[in-house]
Structure 1
Amino acid sequence: MVTNSALADPALDRTLHALADPTRRALLARLARGEASVGELAEPFAISRPAISKHLRVLEEAHLVRRTREGRVSRCVLDAAPLKDVAAWVARYEAFWEQQLDALARYLADTTTGGEDG
């Protein structure tokens, strides 16, 4: 029997939760171009700075963003390391589905070839 604790990966769960929101993905895309202040990150969005700060906290908890203070200004920088774990998790399923689709392709080829000969 597989239990929830056997499947638990809190770091991966936090990262996937952080990536689940389109605003947070947009913030990460912006930070991929370079560091930015919270104000600079908030500019293109039609939401309040406190709402942006909440999104940034989720990204920080997932270790996707690091925030530093320069006087009164908070600067944010992307830390993409947790994305490697997501890529590895996706790769396992990608390999599974590639095998399944290859098997389906072989089956269809055999069925088509068999139908033409008979």
Structure 2
Amino acid sequence: MARPRTQPRSVEHPAPAEFSLQSVLEALADPVRRMVVRQLARAGQDMSCGTFDLPVSRSTATHHFSVLREAGVLRQYYVGTTKMNALRAEEMEARFPGLLPALVAAEEREHTAISA
């Protein structure tokens, strides 16, 4: 008996024209979500969900990733069974110039002050 073919897993993302400043700011208001953005920016490459250092449970982290994706801040995609995360930096810069770099810089300063 032949196995049914399965479709590759995919994740829905808003188009840049659909990014709402309200949604982006609400997504970035949460400190855990800002940690995700800072860690992605520092890494300079896409990261799997399990590689983030976050002070929340796995299911709560999944919620935070979803909020960031739905706001347009992240792009998520699968590599096999691993869900990867990428900052949509160029698209965010085109829609809201300077927002992400300012946020990442502020998060770096705050993280450094807390760690000192």
Same structural fold, with TM-score higher than 0.5 when normalized by the shorter chain:
yes
Residues 47-98 of structure 1 show CA distances to partners (whole Å, capped at 9, x for unaligned) of 1111111001010011110001111110100012335544579xxxxxxxxx
RMSD after superposition: 2.2
- Using the size of structure 1 for normalisation, the TM-score is 0.59
How does 1:1-118 map onto structure 2 within 5 Å? 11-32=20-41, 33=43, 34-41=45-52, 44-80=53-89, 81-82=91-92, 85-87=95-97
Of structures 1 and 2, the larger Rg is shown by 1
Give the aligned residue type for 1:38.
Answer: C
Considering Cα pairs closer than 8 Å and 6+ residues apart, tell me whether 1 or 2 has the greater RCO: 2
- Stretches of structure 1 lacking an aligned partner (at least 5 in a row): 1-8, 90-118
Q: What is the percentage of aligned positions where both structures have the same residue? A: 30
| Kept after mapping to 2: 8 A contact 1:15/1:83 | no
**Contact 1:67/1:74 (8 A) holds in 2:** yes
TM-score by length of 2: 0.60
Higher helix share: 1
